[in-house]
Amino acid sequence: MFISATRLDNVPVSASAALTAMARDIRQQGANVISLSLGEPDFDTPVHVVEAAHAAALRGDTRYPPQPGTPELKAAIRRKFQRDNRLDYALDEIMVANGGTQIVFDAFMASIDPGDEVIVPAPYWISYNNIVRFAGGTPVAVDCPETNGFKLRLDDLEAAITPRTKWLVLNFPNNPTGAVCSWDEMKGIAELLLRHPHVLVLTDDMYEHIIYDDAKFCTLVEVEPALCERVLTVNGVSKTYAMTGWRVGFCGGPKQLLQAMLNVQGQATNGICTIAQAAAVAALDGPQDLLRERCESYRMRRDLVMNLLADAPGLRYRKPGGAFYLFPSMAAHIGKRTKDGTLIRDDKDFVMALLREKHVATVYGAAYGMGSYFRISYAADVALLTEACQRIVEFCSELR
């Protein structure tokens, strides 16, 4: 009889993955399910990127890779940081991993001891807390209320910092809210951190190029270079270039930290697929016009979803400034019953009933550390989004 390790006792399966799997099961039973639960671009990987991978395979670029990343990809990442973020990391301050998730895993496993605390602003991407717990640390949530644009209040952040604080995680544009930090807001966070030199910072910039209207992206070290020895700047090609399946994440940061992270990665997966790395070089060094085009498509979808859900009784939502998620509040529906009599006690009940009765898959907000909300991914076809929103409106209208 198999018994899992105790380290997994407080590490639940990702809610977004679980809801996506449930939607798939219901679809296999013949239902017309629309899944808005997965944070994945619906665009194809650019053709020139696929062609670069094909060429790499044909020329025999299929041997074991260097563990930190191929020289070609590390050089391309350096150029990307210089071009997009005004950051000049040396090549030995850059490493590559199997997606951004492994970068986070490597960093926390390499640095966290039992009793260490990691401040994670809520709402947050599901895996941050789970990886902290897996590494033996303690996640400390700091609420970012809707009334503050789902962004940190400096007084709350300062109050959460203790002598045991090892890391602060920043993720803007944010998953699941789409919140974007302005330069001045990031500068305020930087000035606070200068007063707490023992705190490391992980900035997850995966949605850097998915940003709307008048919002402008900035990352922490760009705003305050004096923090460079304490900040790990994380990024990747998954969201920006529609390359989720290629599994290429990368980061820039202090050399000593990266050496420890590479030790962790060496015990787990070693280097990453050479073909995927060749593809990532083509993505980072190739034409960048497609980023603006795709961002405009996401903006149109955002506006479509917001307009359609304006007819949904009891839903309240804030206009996201980036990423491709809407995070509506469903608090007005707590205590009501669905058409089939199910009591809505919380956001999880709401999401499960929506999937069961209307066959629309979303993710409940409690999974992201903020109950009474739910996440909608609008990285989907316009026709599917339209139909899904009509079903959500119908579902809310039927609640009594």
In this prediction, residue 18 carries a pLDDT of: 79
| Whether residue 127 sits in one domain with residue 76 | yes
Q: What is the CATH number of the domain that holds 194?
A: 3.40.640.10
Looking up residue 34, the CATH number of its domain turns out to be 3.90.1150.10
Into how many domains does the chain fold?
2
Please indicate, yes or no, whether residues 173 and 215 belong to a single structural domain of this protein.
Answer: yes
Q: What angle, 0 to 180 degrees and rounded to 10, lies between the N-to-C axes of helices 99-111 and 126-134?
A: 40
Residue 334 inside a domain? The answer is yes
pLDDT at 24: 83
The residue segments making up the domain with residue 217 are 47-285
Distances in whole angstroms, Cα of residue 251 to Cα of each of 53, 168, 392 = 22, 16, 39
Which residues lie below 8 Å from residue 5, measured CB to CB, with a gap of 6+?
A: none
pLDDT in tens, 242-298: 999 999 999 999 999 999 999 999 999 999 999 999 999 999 999 999 999 999 999
What local confidence, expressed as pLDDT, does residue 14 receive?
Answer: 79
Q: Are residues 131 and 159 in the same domain?
A: yes
Is the same domain home to 228 and 361? no
**Which of 262, 285, 308 is the last residue before a domain boundary?**
285
- Last residue of a domain, which of 252, 285, 318? 285
pLDDT of residue 8: 84
Last residue in a domain, options 227, 257, 285: 285
Q: What is the pLDDT of residues 14-67, one digit of tens each?
A: 777 777 788 888 888 888 999 999 889 999 999 999 999 999 999 999 999 999
Model confidence at 112: pLDDT above 90 = yes
Instruction: Please give the model's pTM, rounded to 2 decimal places.
Output: 0.95
176 assigned to some structural domain: yes
In a domain, 374, yes or no: yes
Residues 276 and 351 in one domain: no
Q: Give the pLDDT confidence score for residue 5 in this predicted structure.
A: 87
pLDDT at 4 over 90: no
What are the CB-based long-range contacts (under 8 Å, 24+) for 142-151? Answer: 143/370, 144/177, 144/179, 146/318, 146/329, 149/179, 149/318, 150/123, 150/174, 150/177, 150/178, 150/179, 150/318, 150/327, 151/179, 151/181, 151/185
